[in-house]
Amino acid sequence: MRVVAGALLVSFACASVAPAGPADQCAVAAHLVHADAGMPNSVKAIDKTKTLKVVVVGSASSTLPGPAGIAIAYPSKFEMTLQKRLPGVNVQVVSVAKPRQTAQDMADGMLQILKEQNPALVVWQTGTVDAMRGVGAEAFQATLDTTVEKIQASGADVILMNMQFSPRTEAVIASTAYAEAIRYVALQRSVNLFDRQSIMRQWNELGTFDFLTPTKSLDTAALVHSCIGSMLADLVLEAVKSPDNKDSPKQ
Amino acid sequence: MPPIVQTGRDLRLDLFRGLALWLIFVDHIPSNVVNWITIRNYGFSDAAEIFVFISGYTAAFVYGSAMQDRGFVVASARIFRRAWQVYVAHVFIFVIFMAEIYYLTKNLENPLYSEEMRAFDFLQQPGEALMQALMLRFQPNFMDVLPLYIVLLLVFPFTLWLLLRQPWLALTLSAALYTATQHFSWNLTSYPSGTWFFNPLAWQLIFVVGAWLGVGGATQFANVLRSRLVIGLALAYLLISLAVVMTWYFPRYVAYIPKGVQDWMYPIDKTNLDLLRFLHFMALAIVTVRFVPIDWPGLKSLWLRPMIMCGQHSLEIFCLGIFLSFLGHFITSEISRSVEMQILISVLGISAMIAVAWLITWYKGIEGRGPGAGPKPRQASDLAGGEA
């Protein structure tokens, strides 16, 4: 509800804004991307080793179907943008997106992923599958909380990403409690939240993208993912520049 | 507008149940700007608590006198008849739900939403979904309150029997079940996975407390509930709750809540009726009863009559509200998502609820005056809210 309410407030404020053209597609929702916490581990990796290894852990909405799917899904755009904007740093984004995974499924595999990949940053996208399966929101939150703590203990930063906004399924998939849980854990564990739901809701309100017309084409999906990828990169760049990092050891 | 039927029953019950029905309708339209005014944004509890509590209170009031006058068997038969009506309503809502799903899946094709599409996997086995819905185990969004109500009614003859003999024992048993449920994480399973959204083992508490007050607890405790100390505590709790909820919208204030308190307090779970939610509702009820007395002239005013009427036909109006919220969501997602449209839909929906409530009142009035009407007391209770 908080997410919904917040987005509504924003949409209220923006109700008189004309629909955006393709040039500033993403930008109309840029104000919804903000780093509330620093990311000291990423800063350390960038400064000390000139590398930034990121793992994206998520379900089907972190990828796109079809043979071209992975190449046009947001993790690859995220990697490209970060690489371009962090010259001299070797950026690597590994995507571990598997369909039908609940937060618990992903939590079970998390230690293995951390051990194999040893990332400085984990982007964890979750919520939709749990909401669809009716996993208790309380259990969901507990899983999220303990797993974020484990990731942090392993020496990686975390960005939590909530569910997609989908205007048609909104009344069928009760996602509010899960979005709230994600927001709450982000706040409690001082990790950044990428509020994909509010961003996409904003695009829907402003008519930036058409989420309603039935299509088999990947065109809109590719544009949406491209925007999400670059906005996620914006969040990382803002977070590594955050004054909250100044306590961390810097070269 | 036909006059409100006087049955000696507390009109405040109907008034606030009518309010809860309106709020449930408004809250059930996703992305509705009108959601902002509903009480869940200003405290821990929401319309669900009001609805279940008042249902408990009314059920005890109506069937309690039946049980005392006409015995256990007759009262039980009437309670089961009510449970049956609610069950039929549940099946009706399921049919509406399936029609909506059918429409959605027909138009959802978009590779962007391949994940969300899986929410409709059950459509590949609609027979299974139907069977599970009939067994109350299939509870998609918005089909979760009535199963709770049905279960509560099915055991209510026994609850009421005990409440009439040993009210304190009944209350203690209810609280014990609630406590054990929290401790052992008991809940009923649902289909295809997960558990009941409204855990009946936990939510029974607010229903039984309502019923306990309905069979006489309210009169016994009138002085305590009206004491300055209790009112003061209730008001303080409501204010604290409001302050906490405000930090959800303005996260920069979260830091003012000590970490230890947050760890203890969160999550405030709706499924298991978190104690903080329960207490918030009780505080709200105590303050409301204090400032809206039973003989408050406003209860007879023309302005509040629509709300009271909706509350008197809660089951019909609840079903209508669910149907209208589906329709409302359809319009806001497909036709216009403007704020004006959201407000218009909320207003039109509530107007439709009032119109139908008025129609039912009018119709029952005609029927009641006709020859061959049933025994007087039953008619009266029927008129005053479809029994309970």
Shortest alpha-carbon distance between residue A251 and chain B (Å) = 31
Residues in chain A closer than 8 A to B192 (CB atoms): 133
- Residue-level pLDDT at B264: 84
Q: Which of residues 190-249 of A touch B (CB under 8 A)?
A: 201, 204-205, 211-212, 214-218, 220-221, 224
| Closest to A214 measured CA to CA, from A161, A168, A179 | A168
**Contact flag B119-A132 (C-beta cutoff 8 Å):** yes
**Contact flag B30-A215 (C-beta cutoff 8 Å):** no
Give the Cα separation of B128 and B318 in Å (integer).
26
Helix H or strand E segment including B302: none
| Residue-wise pLDDT tens digits, B339-370 | 899 999 999 999 999 999 999 999 988 887 54
A-B contacts (CB, under 8 Å): 152
Domain ranges, ordered by start, for chain B? 11-383
Residues in chain A closer than 8 A to B140 (CB atoms): 172
Shortest alpha-carbon distance between residue B264 and chain A (Å) = 13
Q: Which residue has the higher pLDDT, A16 or A64?
A: A64
Q: Which residue has the higher pLDDT, A21 or A130?
A: A130
CA dihedral A127, A129, A131, A134 (to 10 degrees): -140
B103 has a pLDDT exceeding 50: yes
A85 has a pLDDT exceeding 70: yes
CATH of A2-6+34-239, one of 3.40.718.10, 3.40.50.300, 3.90.1150.10, 3.40.50.1110: 3.40.50.1110
Give the Cα separation of A223 and A218 in Å (integer).
9
B177 has a pLDDT exceeding 80: yes
Split at pLDDT 50, 70, 90, the class of B7 is low
| Residue-wise pLDDT tens digits, A221-240 | 999 999 999 999 999 999 99
pTM above 0.80?
yes
3-state secondary structure string, A187-199?
Answer: HHCCCEEECHHHH
Give the Cα separation of B249 and B244 in Å (integer).
10
Residues in chain B closer than 8 A to A99 (CB atoms): 114-115, 118
Shortest alpha-carbon distance between residue B15 and chain A (Å) = 26
Residues in chain A closer than 8 A to B267 (CB atoms): 137-138, 141, 181, 184
**Contact flag A136-B271 (C-beta cutoff 8 Å):** yes
Q: Which of residues 134-163 of A touch B (CB under 8 A)?
A: 134-138, 141
| Residue-wise pLDDT tens digits, B302-327 | 999 999 999 999 999 999 999 999 89
A169 touches chain B (CB under 8 A): yes
**Contact flag B118-A100 (C-beta cutoff 8 Å):** yes
Residues in chain B closer than 8 A to A59 (CB atoms): 115
**Contact flag A66-B41 (C-beta cutoff 8 Å):** no
Give the Cα separation of A146 and B288 in Å (integer).
41
Task: Retrieve residue B230's tokens.
Answer: 């209790």
Domain ranges, ordered by start, for chain A? 2-6+34-239
- Residue-level pLDDT at A24: 66
B36 touches chain A (CB under 8 A): yes
| Residue-wise pLDDT tens digits, A116-156 | 999 999 999 999 999 988 888 888 999 999 999 999 999 99
Q: Which of residues 172-201 of B touch A (CB under 8 A)?
A: 187, 190, 192-195, 197
Split at pLDDT 50, 70, 90, the class of B5 is very low
Residues in chain B closer than 8 A to A191 (CB atoms): none
B272 touches chain A (CB under 8 A): yes
Which positions ≥6 away from A141 have C-beta within 8 Å? Answer: A181, A184, A185, B267
Q: Where are the alpha helices (H) located in chain B, listed in sequence order?
A: 11-27, 47-106, 114-117, 126-134, 145-154, 156-165, 167-184, 200-212, 218-220, 222-225, 228-249, 259-265, 275-291, 305-312, 314-334, 339-369, 376-383
Question: Would you say B62 and B388 are in contact if contact means Cβ atoms under 8 Å apart?
Answer: yes
**Contact flag B108-A214 (C-beta cutoff 8 Å):** yes
